[in-house]
């Protein structure tokens, strides 16, 4: 039994590895062979990796255009091997720009294709659903409202919970066991993003926020979690004052310790909510990118928490609204207004219940087993 798998990013590699581990447990007597594109985690679980996530990864439109020919060559290699191997199915994890094009080619070969992690068609590029209806046998969704969107369009879809629920729950248990204090009243986390372009726009703004915090709350502890040491070197080039503690690779720990945060829009804001740390959301990009984004994105808010709850729980300060005074007033309110703070925590707990148990890989594999074999 062969299954073709494709993960084009690190997060997909981890999810793919969890799925392979689940399959390996379920099919000990009649093992499944996995091959395709992935990373070190999938390889550790026994998958034959033809090209790595590092080779596939591109950031932004310009990078994708530059790498178009190379990615097309990789895709053709995969399709050629699929013709020869005739896998039972193709499991395509996130990475929709590449994976939906690949699904078109595999569908013509009669190979059932399943998209794990739905593209956010509810926010932008809804017309993708017409392609998905033609070439996919199923879509696996992180958010509970997504399957209804697909079912209305005739696409089989399944809510399998969000993996961050499980990861944050595990992290909180570990921190408690290590006796790390949660949500200390004198601690704030500032999160400038994970990309150089985000940090360039947001870090100077956050340093000004930090200076006012230190002035108004002399005993305040300020943490700045960043994804890794490579990003840390770039962050250091902005002359970080000594009262800000950099925490590379410790985003969840910093959020857990902090009473409040100011965070760049992205998945980290969902982590903050699941770790029950109220935050202010900020984002700024180039004027050109912002105007393009405004034309194509069809949502009232950009923050995942507000989108998922269908109301404004977290204050968002985007582009020209990202003014120092506005953000600082909201942050200090989180630090001083307990009734307001508790109201936000209550909404975060509601969100957590809506996102399932976090065992996404297990649920996905159980459904795929019934569909494929």
Same domain membership, residue 169 and residue 132: no
Same domain membership, residue 33 and residue 152: yes
Same domain membership, residue 227 and residue 80: no
Strand stretches in the chain, DSSP E = 2-7, 33-38, 48-52, 89-93, 113-116, 138-141, 157-159, 184-191, 221-226, 244-248, 258-264, 279-283, 316-318
Same domain membership, residue 111 and residue 31: yes
Same domain membership, residue 80 and residue 180: no
pLDDT at 14: 93
Report pTM: 0.86
Angstrom distance (rounded) from CA 189 to CA 256: 9
Angstrom distance (rounded) from CA 161 to CA 142: 5
The alpha carbon torsion through 163, 32, 9, 302 (nearest 10 deg) reads: -40
Same domain membership, residue 155 and residue 205: no
pLDDT at 116: 97
pLDDT at 45: 96
Same domain membership, residue 124 and residue 49: yes
What is the span of the domain harbouring residue 137? 2-162+357-372
Same domain membership, residue 210 and residue 93: no
The alpha carbon torsion through 354, 355, 360, 366 (nearest 10 deg) reads: 10
CATH code for the domain of 65? 3.40.50.2000
pLDDT at 245: 97
Same domain membership, residue 155 and residue 169: no
> Per residue in 240-286, pLDDT tens?
999 999 999 999 999 999 999 999 998 899 999 999 999 999 998 87
Same domain membership, residue 77 and residue 154: yes
* Average pLDDT of span 218-230: 90
> Per residue in 57-81, pLDDT tens?
654 445 556 677 778 888 999 999 9
Same domain membership, residue 211 and residue 143: no
Pairing mode, strands 316-318 and 279-283: parallel
pLDDT at 68: 74
Same domain membership, residue 290 and residue 264: yes
Tokens of 295: 């034309």
> Per residue in 316-330, pLDDT tens?
999 899 999 999 999
- Which is more confidently placed, 58 or 310? 310
pLDDT at 60: 47
pLDDT at 73: 87
């Amino acid at each position: 039994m062969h299954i073709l798998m494709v993960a084009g990013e690190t997060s997909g590699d981890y999810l793919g590895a969890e799925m392979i581990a689940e399959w390996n447990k379920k099919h000990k007597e009649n093992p499944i062979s996995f091959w395709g594109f992935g990373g070190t985690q999938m390889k550790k679980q026994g998958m034959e990796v033809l090209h790595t996530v590092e080779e596939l990864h591109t950031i932004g439109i310009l990078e994708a255009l530059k790498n178009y020919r190379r990615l097309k060559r990789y895709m053709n290699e995969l399709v050629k091997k699929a013709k020869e191997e005739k896998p039972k199915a193709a499991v395509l994890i996130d990475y929709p720009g590449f994976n939906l094009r690949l699904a078109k080619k595999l569908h013509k070969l009669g190979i059932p294709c399943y998209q794990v992690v739905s593209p956010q068609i509810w926010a932008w590029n809804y017309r993708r659903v017409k392609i998905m209806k033609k070439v996919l046998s199923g879509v696996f969704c992180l958010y509970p409202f997504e399957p209804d969107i697909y079912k209305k369009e005739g696409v089989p879809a399944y809510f399998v919970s969000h993996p961050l629920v499980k990861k944050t729950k595990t992290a909180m248990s570990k921190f408690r066991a290590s006796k790390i204090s949660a949500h200390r009243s004198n601690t704030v986390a500032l999160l400038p993003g994970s990309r150089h372009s985000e940090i360039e726009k947001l870090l100077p703004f956050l340093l000004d926020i930090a200076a006012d915090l230190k002035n108004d709350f002399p005993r305040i502890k300020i943490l700045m979690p960043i994804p890794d040491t490579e990003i840390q070197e770039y962050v250091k080039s902005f002359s970080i004052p000594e009262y800000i503690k950099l925490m590379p690779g410790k985003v969840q720990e910093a959020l857990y310790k902090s009473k409040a945060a100011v965070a760049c829009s992205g998945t980290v804001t969902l982590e903050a909510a699941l770790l029950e740390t109220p935050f202010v959301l900020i984002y700024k990009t180039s004027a050109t990118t912002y105007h393009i984004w405004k034309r194509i994105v069809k949502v009232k808010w950009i923050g995942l928490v507000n989108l998922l709850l269908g109301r404004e729980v977290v204050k968002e300060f985007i582009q020209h609204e990202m003014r120092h005074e506005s953000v600082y007033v909201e942050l200090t309110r989180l630090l001083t207004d307990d009734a307001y703070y508790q109201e936000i925590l209550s909404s975060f707990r509601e969100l957590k219940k809506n996102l399932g148990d976090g065992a996404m890989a297990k649920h996905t594999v159980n459904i795929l087993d019934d569909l494929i074999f």
